[in-house]
Structure 1
């Protein structure tokens, strides 16, 4: 099973959909023991994996907004307002 983080977007024709951003594979505790030691991941619950993904997203948002946080936060606070930025 995969634990995934997605970005919800709305398209005029296709409606609302989720674009996958990051995913982590969940392996059940009883299956971890059967894997070879070299390939054995540390066991984490699905909730722990989800928290890991959210922390990753928060760190990305924090680092992207360091220079000019209003460029990041304005579109999130008022999505109906068109925002024009410079493409780098």
Structure 2
């Protein structure tokens, strides 16, 4: 006689949905901040005579873009809502 599990399947599927979204957001953050950092280094070397501010500015733009896209991803999935 086999036993049937009575645990709901939605908890594991919702957990995997959140984990998949977090994986996308974190990888997107790494890529965007890396691109911003690289663009900042390139601008610093070619245009601004090796000053540090373009590197930090590029990194900030990359992290801001990653945050914005991550927020959008969680809103589309219904995991985050805006309080009005």
With the length of structure 1 as denominator, give the TM-score of the two structures: 0.35
Higher relative contact order (CA 8 A, sep 6+): 2
Larger helix proportion of the pair? 2
Q: Indicate the structure (1 or 2) with the bigger Cα radius of gyration.
A: 2
With the length of structure 2 as denominator, give the TM-score of the two structures: 0.37
